Structure 1
Amino acid sequence: MQQLLEFIANHPFLWSAVAAVIAALIANEIWRSLRGDRPLPPSDAVRLINSRDAVVVDVRSAGDFKKGHLLNAINIPLAGITERANEISKNKECTILCYCAMGSTSQQACQRLQKLGYSHVHSLKGGINGWQAAGLPITRK
């Protein structure tokens, strides 16, 4: 313990940087949870689809969509999400579930849709890879 305290005393800038990074991570997690931006795990996404008739939006490329997607998903790549948002629903109160390959691109799509006024937009945690890892089916039709 004495050596740790001595190390901290000898390297104050290093420990200040570590403390700042930890504080930033904690603040980011608190901010995301307050905003409701937490991606939904596959089990919650299934409940959302079944109970709220969520519109499922695949934001991957058309080629990836053809290789396999969630049942009844519509394909609107991220680059065209703003221009093609009216294809999702004209009702801004509808529930929307966006997904991509691994979960990060769909969060960007959710942010864009929220800026357009859609209030119930969710991202699938882990994307289609997380969906398949949970043992849930995809279709090629």
Structure 2
Amino acid sequence: MNFEEILAFATRSPFNQILSLALVALTVAIVYTEIARLLRGYKALRPAELTHLVNSENALVVDLSANNDFEKGHIAGSRNVLPSSFGPDHKLLAGAKSQPVVLVCRTGQTAGGAAKRLKKAGFEKVYVLDGGVAAWQQADLPLVKGR
């Protein structure tokens, strides 16, 4: 199939025009999303990758969940910091600019914004647990209760 045949198909009927426009819009959305992911400055980790990073590089895991959610269940070794008091100058992050820092929240949404702040402040190795604690649980990995 060549370009002229594709163009003829796209202009043949209103339904084909709608399909063609939808395909172009979907392609643009996918390209935009991938470029944004590459430029965000931090990497999303799957639960198994987080386990490896903690074991091999002694990553600092920061859980941004509310206190009561943290107490209900969190990743072993993670430290709880409320999003309202989190920032690059937080005492927990002192001296961690070159150390791997993994941000975790319940779903993975809050951690993304916090990761951008750390990258902007010069932190070198910033990660987010993709899907948050929910993804950790779906991978059948254990949570620790309490503080």
Relative to the length of structure 1, the TM-score reads 0.83
Larger Rg belongs to = 2
Residues 28 and 94 (structure 1), Cα distance of their counterparts in 2 relative to 1, 3 Å cut: same
Find the partner of 1:86 among 62, 78, 91: 91
**Percent sequence identity over matched residues?**
30
Range that drifts further, 21-30 or 102-111: 21-30
Q: What RMSD, in angstroms, separates the aligned Cα atoms of the two structures?
A: 2.8
Other-structure match for 1:126: 131
Unaligned regions of 5+ residues in structure 2, if any?
Answer: 1-7
Amino acid at match of 1:104: Q
Amino acid at match of 2:55: N
Deviations 1:110-138 (A, max 9, x none): 11111222110100011001001101111
Unaligned regions of 5+ residues in structure 1, if any?
Answer: none
Other-structure match for 2:145: 140
Question: SS of the counterpart of 1:123?
Answer: strand
CA contact (8 A) 1:93 1:118 kept: yes
Relative to the length of structure 2, the TM-score reads 0.80
Other-structure match for 1:7: 14
User: Size of the alignment, in residue pairs?
Assistant: 139
Residues 83 and 89 (structure 1), Cα distance of their counterparts in 2 relative to 1, 3 Å cut: closer
Q: CA deviation at 1:37?
A: 3.4
